[in-house]
Every structure is written in structure tokens, then in C-alpha cells.
């Protein structure tokens, strides 16, 4: 039976992941932590600033954790607003979590991102192992993080694992400060206002995934036989690649009056332009059986259905 401590548990991924892990392993075996507390959290919860390595260590030790899932981080667009702070939080938090894993011999997961690629990376069918020269602070953090996780495995034998997430789409907790957030906002605005102004330009392809597939990928990778993993950290994973007008067309199948226009944000557009169009997930498929259930059509039907219930 696993005993898991999760950082960033109130974030976009963390909030749903803790629910799923509690269902799988028992609520008493999942300790959710975040920098703030919200009322009505269900199950064990502790306030934790990931910059405080000593408290992270004590919480993990007292809980008897055998696994740490480190989610707390700033996303790409927020990181560009304050790059120095992003470096400190993203790298400091990761280093603290890796140290806790090393000291307490915990299994370790942290996500990388398609943001770990840059303008010189091959844009289509982006290979697992390829050129990574990102031009954002977030990307620099992600590449450094991938290397650091590999280092902790080879140097200290910590069982580190990770994936490169694409943009994640969910109706539960909104993302904050990402470049791919338009693909979530569009569904909310479709229901609330029947229209959406996209800050990403038509024709800009990015990889995406529906949250249930992302959560399942974390569990599947953590449960996988470690001896079969050649990459361990930073597996490319994607469920679909689309550009804004394609998601708009999919929404129009459900809401024919839906309208979209564009007001491109230069900062987020530059970030999006530096990322791949579509990455190759075959290493994840081969090494631990990565699979997805949702394509753009199926996800759109579910998102609109769920959001209608939530917002009406
Ligand atoms: C972002 O847009 O920053 C994230 C990501 C792709 O890592 N959603």
C-alpha cells in the first residue's frame, strides 16, 4: 500500500490527482499539501511552502510517506512575468523534493512539459530524445529539472519518474498562468457567453490532453516496472494536437451559434511558437504502455456536458 505526499495539491493537476489517488490507495494514505489552505479540504492536508525543505522533510517523515509527487510550480506565462522568482520556486522546490526523496528513500514523480522544447527542436513528431534549447524561463527550469531527476536516479538511486505534459484540459480546477490555457477558457466562455476571443493565433498547433488521461498516465508510470524504463523522466506524452479554429469547430458541433475571434497576446504567442506542433509519444507507449481515451471530439462533448452542469 502506498503512502503518498503531494505538493501543489490545490493546483490544476494536484486537486484532481489527490482525489484519484485517495480513491485508489485510501484517503488516509494521501497527504495533500499546498502553500494555502482552503476551507472544506477532504482528507489529510498540511500547509507547505515548497521552499521550506525542512518542513517538507518533516511532513513526509511523520506521514510515513513512501512516495512524493511534486506538482508545485509556476507555469510558462507567469514564469515570464517574474523569471527570477520562477527559477527560485521551480528549481528550489524541485531540489527540496528530490532531497526529501533521497533522504527518506521515496519514489518520486514530477512533471516536465512540452515547454522543455524550443524553437530549434523539430516541430513535428518531436522525438523523445532531441534538441532542447527552450527560450522561456519555464522551459529552462523544465530542462534543468529533467536533468536533475536523471541525476538523482543515476547518482543516488532515487526512483525518479516523470512525463512531459502537453496542455491539460479540465472542467474541475482552472489552470493558472499557462500558454495552453486558452483551450480551457474557450469551453467556459462557450457556455457562459457563446463566444471567445483567443489570445493564440489561428494555425498555432500545440499538444493537448484531457485531465482523466493525464491522471491515469501518472498512476500508470508510477506503477510501471522500473526495470523496463529506459528514460524514467520526461517521457513525451500527448493525446491530440490542434489549433484554435479546430477546437472552435468542435464546439460549434454542440453549440452552433458559438463564435470565435482573435486578439493575439504577443508574449504567449511567442511562447507557443517556440513549442512543438505535435510530439511523438512512442517511448512512453513502448516502455510503460501509455494510452489515452479522449480525442478532441470526445473531450469536447464531455467538457461541455460537465461545464453545463457545473455553471448552470
Ligand atoms: C503551460 O502552458 O505553461 C502548461 C504547459 C504546457 O506546461 N500548460
Please give, one letter per residue, the 3-state secondary structure of 154-203. Answer: HHHCCCEECEEECEEECCCCCCCCCCCCHHHHHHHHHHHCCEEEECCCCC
Q: What percent of the chain has pLDDT over 70?
A: 100
CB of residue 76 inside a 6 A radius of ligand 1: yes
For residues 291-312, average pLDDT? 96
Round to whole Å and give the CA distance between 52 and 106.
Answer: 18
Q: What is the pLDDT of residues 235-273, one digit of tens each?
A: 999 999 999 999 999 999 999 999 999 999 999 999 999
94, 148 Cβ separation under 8 angstroms: yes
Sheet architecture: strand order including 160-161: 45-47, 30-34, 4-7, 67-70, 107-109, 160-161
Probe residue for ligand 1, chosen from 76, 134, 234 as the CB with the greatest number of ligand atoms within 8 Å:
76
Distance, CA 279 to ligand 1 centroid (Å)?
A: 14
Query: Which residue among 57, 138, 152, 187 is the active-site one?
Result: 138
CB of residue 179 inside a 6 A radius of ligand 1: yes
Atom 7, ligand 1: which residue's CA is nearest?
113
pLDDT at 42 over 90: no
CB of residue 126 inside a 6 A radius of ligand 1: no
Probe residue for ligand 1, chosen from 86, 111, 115, 240 as the CB with the greatest number of ligand atoms within 8 Å:
115
Q: What is the pLDDT of residues 201-235, one digit of tens each?
A: 999 999 999 999 999 999 999 999 999 999 999 99
Q: What is the pLDDT of residues 15-31, one digit of tens each?
A: 999 999 999 999 999 99
Q: What is the pLDDT of residue 163?
A: 98
**How wide is the angle at C-alpha 248 spanned by C-alphas 218 and 265, nearest 5°?**
80
Probe residue for ligand 1, chosen from 13, 74, 78, 114 as the CB with the greatest number of ligand atoms within 8 Å:
114
Q: What is the pTM of this model?
A: 0.97
Q: What is the pLDDT of residues 52-99, one digit of tens each?
A: 999 999 999 999 999 999 999 999 999 999 999 999 999 999 999 999
Annotation says 205 is catalytic: no
Amino acid at each position: 500500500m502506498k503512502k503518498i505526499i503531494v505538493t501543489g495539491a490545490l493546483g490544476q493537476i494536484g486537486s484532481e490527482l489527490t482525489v484519484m489517488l485517495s480513491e485508489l490507495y485510501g484517503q488516509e494514505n494521501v497527504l495533500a499539501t499546498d502553500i494555502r489552505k482552503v476551507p472544506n479540504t477532504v482528507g489529510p492536508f498540511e500547509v507547505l511552502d515548497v521552499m521550506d525543505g525542512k518542513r517538507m522533510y518533516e511532513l513526509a517523515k511523520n506521514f510515513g510517506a513512501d512516495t512524493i509527487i511534486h506538482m508545485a510550480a509556476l507555469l510558462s506565462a507567469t514564469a515570464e512575468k517574474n523569471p527570477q522568482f520562477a527559477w527560485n520556486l521551480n528549481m528550489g522546490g524541485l531540489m527540496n523534493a528530490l532531497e526529501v526523496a533521497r533522504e527518506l528513500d521515496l519514489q518520486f514523480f514530477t512533471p516536465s512539459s512540452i515547454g522543455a522544447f524550443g524553437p530549434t527542436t523539430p516541430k513535428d513528431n518531436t522525438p523523445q530524445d532531441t534538441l532542447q534549447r527552450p527560450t522561456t524561463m519555464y522551459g529552462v527550469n523544465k530542462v534543468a529539472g529533467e536533468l536533475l531527476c536523471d541525476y538523482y536516479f543515476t547518482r543516488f538511486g532515487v526512483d525518479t519518474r516523470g512525463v512531459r505534459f502537453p496542455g491539460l484540459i479540465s472542467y474541475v480546477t482552472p489552470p493558472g498562468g499557462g500558454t495552453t490555457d486558452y483551450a480551457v477558457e474557450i469551453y467556459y466562455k462557450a457556455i457562459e457567453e457563446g463566444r471567445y476571443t483567443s489570445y493564440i493565433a489561428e494555425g498555432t498547433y500545440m499538444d493537448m490532453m484531457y485531465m482523466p488521461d493525464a491522471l491515469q498516465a501518472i498512476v500508470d508510470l508510477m506503477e510501471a516496472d522500473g526495470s523496463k524504463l529506459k528514460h524514467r523522466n520526461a517521457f513525451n506524452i500527448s493525446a491530440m494536437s490542434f489549433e484554435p479554429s479546430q477546437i472552435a469547430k468542435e464546439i460549434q458541433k454542440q453549440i452552433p451559434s458559438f463564435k470565435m475571434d482573435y486578439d493575439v497576446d504577443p508574449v504567449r504567442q511567442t511562447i507557443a511558437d517556440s513549442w512543438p506542433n505535435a510530439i511523438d509519444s512512442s517511448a512512453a507507449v513502448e516502455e510503460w504502455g501509455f494510452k489515452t481515451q479522449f480525442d478532441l471530439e470526445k473531450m469536447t462533448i464531455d467538457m461541455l456536458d460537465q461545464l453545463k452542469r457545473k455553471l448552470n
